Chain A
Amino acid sequence: MELEKIKEIIADSVDFDVESITEDTRFDSMGLDSLDIVELLMQIDEEFGTETEPNASLVTVGDLIAHIRESK
């Protein structure tokens, strides 16, 4: 559920093959720079009602999903 929504948001904001995104996909492999990550997180927060700060522990899509589950 979360993965699908996150994939949708990523697809919406960057040109990346959404079908290839899994929980193991690293943000840096998607070619996102630091500004892209902040934008993505703000959109995710708007969707899930969370407050996510860009930080070094958010490496993969799975890390983000875990964070959202914890914050909810």
Chain B
Amino acid sequence: MRDNELCRLLGIEKPIIQGGMAWIADAKLAAAVSEAGGLGIISAMNAGADYVADQIDKIRTLTDKPFGVNVMLMSPHADEVARILVHKKVPVVTTGAGSPSKYMPEWLAAGITVMPVVASVAMAKNAERCGAAAVIAEGQESGGHIGELTTLTLVPQVCDAVNIPVVAAGGIADGRGMAAAFMLGAVGVQMGTRFLVAKECGVHQTYKDMVLKASDISTVVTGRRFQASSCRCIKNKFSRGFLKTEYLPETTAEDIAELGVGALRLAAVEGDRDRGCFLAGQISGMVNREMTAREIVDEVYNGCISLLKGAN
């Protein structure tokens, strides 16, 4: 692990990345993860360039370690956010919800390390062709917007298909998951749900409590019917109502797009147990203790190391 490819690429100590969770992954959480030796990520979500610039300035006051920004490519502000990342000389960018090809020339020219989140082999190959330094292969165990493949099936197939480092994501929350990811060919992991309950995470306490109390079967996937926006979230009044509406014969793709508007903010900021959409991964059932980011990074990393030693 001392000569880990991802650590070398990103200039970090432990190959653990914190997922760019919208409304959750802010400068404070990201700084705590980076300070712990991993890579903290600020989510640009649907926000404008001003918010992202503020967050970048803020993280630089909290840590001098590398960090990243996650760009949601479907965001209406993606163009201006892409430019601000160059202007602010952000070291690492991860992308979600599409191909970042449009922004790659500018980002690469600025020396930014780009790691797209991919859900299929073709997406991974596309990312490599665009000049990505690594890909984050995310299985459908993860929270939020997901593809169809599981981490166990996606990661080795992506590893076989590309010549750049592969980070595994989706369903990983402890040393066993991380060691398994390495066995599949990954050189690092990204975790979201586990960091959601970090002490430094400013998400509403109700959100944390829902993850901490969740069991293995507490999440559902909404949006599958229209192939567009499959989203994993915790079962509650909102998600049950969503699913009921989704499968009514008269419901259209446009109706579905309307249904989710604002629900994530209601969960993360307001802690609205009934009307909020609480995105979280299938591993929630195993995430049952609030710890500091450093404790999480150390526990996962050390657990992985001792398992890998045993495997040799």
> Residues of A with Cβ closer than 8 Å to B?
31, 33-35, 38-39, 41-43, 51, 53-55
Contact = CB atoms under 8 A, between A and B. Distances in A.
A42 B101 contact: no
Nearest to A39: B122
B41 to A, nearest CB: 23
Nearest to B147: A35
Contact of A38 (B99, B102, B227): B99
Given A38-B122, A39-B122, A53 B101 contact: yes
A33 B126 contact: no
B110 interface: no
A38 B129 contact: no
Contacts of A41: 122, 126
A38 B120 contact: yes
A34 B148 contact: no
Contacts of B125: 42
B98 interface: yes
A12 to B, nearest CB: 14
A41 B98 CA distance: 14
Nearest to A32: B227
Contacts of B102: 53, 55
A54 B99 contact: yes
B103 to A, nearest CB: 11
B98 A54 contact: yes
B124 to A, nearest CB: 10
A53 B122 contact: no
B98 A35 contact: no
A11 to B, nearest CB: 17
Contacts of A39: 120-122
Nearest to B119: A35
Given A38-B99, A54-B99, A33 B227 contact: yes
Given A51-B129, A54-B98, A35 B123 contact: yes
B122 A42 contact: yes
B122 A34 contact: no
Contacts of A34: 98, 228
Given A42-B122, A51-B129, A35 B148 contact: yes
Contacts of A55: 102
Contacts of A42: 122, 125-126
26 contacts: A31-B227, A33-B228, A34-B98, A34-B228, A35-B119, A35-B120, A35-B122, A35-B123, A35-B147, A38-B99, A38-B120, A38-B122, A38-B123, A38-B126, A39-B122, A41-B126, A42-B126, A43-B122, A51-B129, A53-B99, A53-B101, A53-B102, A53-B126, A54-B98, A54-B99, A55-B102
A63 to B, nearest CB: 17
Interface in B211-242: 227-228
A38 B102 CA distance: 15
Interface string B239-261: 00000000000000000000000
Given A35-B148, A39-B121, 5 more contacts: A35-B123, A35-B147, A38-B126, A53-B99, A54-B98
Contacts of B99: 38, 53-54
A41 B126 CA distance: 9
A33 B122 CA distance: 13
